[in-house]
Amino acid sequence: MVKRLMWSGLLAGAGAVASIVANRLAGTVWRRLFDEEPPE
């Protein structure tokens, strides 16, 4: 039971980090392509 909770926490943390990295990468690509801030 504890291992399942730890696994769920690990997956949630990895998903959050991946989302943040993807968002920053997309913003950087947008700025370089269009020379403006990405839309919200």
The predicted structure's pLDDT at residue 14: 98
What pLDDT score was predicted for residue 40?
Answer: 83
d(CA 26, CA 28): 5
Burial call 5-31: b when 16+ CB within 10 Å, e when fewer = eeeeeeeeeeeeeeeeeeeeeeeeeee
Q: What is the pTM of this model?
A: 0.76
Tell me the three-class secondary structure of the chain, residue by residue.
CHHHHHHHHHHHHHHHHHHHHHHHHHHHHHHHHHCCCCCC
Question: What pLDDT was estimated at residue 8?
Answer: 98
| Tens digit of each residue's pLDDT (9 = 90 or more) over 9-20 | 999 999 999 999
The string of pLDDT tens digits covering residues 1-40 is: 999 999 999 999 999 999 999 999 999 999 999 999 999 8
